Structure 1
Amino acid sequence: MNNVKNLNKWANAHTYLSLDLVRIALGVFLFMKGISFITNIQYLQDLISPIDKIGGGMFLIHYIAPAHMVGGIMIAFGLLTRWAIIAQLPILIGAIIVNFMGEMHSQNLLLAILILGICVFFLFYGSGKHSADYYFKMQQ
């Protein structure tokens, strides 16, 4: 618990508006990706088909899109950002693995690696000073 408090103190002391804009853009991107998956379920099924042989394909379909939508909203507003990013990590790692198991799409692979890197950064950095977490903390 002290580690999280220390990370929050460091992040609030080193907060920049540009980092908050990157966090908001990440949240909007994930939300739009979730909308894209819901409106085109067949595309999502085609994406996870290489790992569907293992099992749990229907579970993945029902986890990926809502996790992106809800997590994207939470990340954009800075509400429980670390928890929302923890929910995104298995999806992003799976996106990287799918590129190696199935047909290689270098653009999708680079995008997944970039988003994973940004998510790992915000997992440690937190939501920052311009967020709902900071606002609610100051209301106590």
Structure 2
Amino acid sequence: MKRRWNSRKSNSKKLVIIEGDLERTEERAELAESKCSELEEELKNVTNNLKSLEAQAEKYSQKEDKYEEEIKILTDKLKEAETRAEFAERSVAKLEKTIDDLEDKLKCTKEEHLCTQRMLDQTLLDLNEM
């Protein structure tokens, strides 16, 4: 009978230990399930953020393509404007040279006119003295 009693006592201890283990395991399972729920919610949020970021990336990619095209157009316009400016600068230089040449010619012509005027005045004086 002692054996039965020891066996029952041993079984009771084992049962208490197993029930304690079960309780701790259930608590761990609840914590793990809670953590799993939190992680699932976080994953859901991260997935939504990722989708939002992907949509923004697509939008920005389209804007980038648009801006690159605008930059190309503006670069072409700039090159064209620079070419026109260089041509205009050469034209201005030619015109300034022409103006300088004409001013020199005008100065010479005025000097010749002044000389001719003096000669004419002198001739008239000479004629009046005769």
State if a TM-score over 0.5 links the two structures. Answer: no
Q: Bigger radius of gyration, 1 or 2?
A: 2
Larger helix fraction of residues = 2
**TM-score when scaled to structure 2?**
0.21
**TM-score when scaled to structure 1?**
0.20
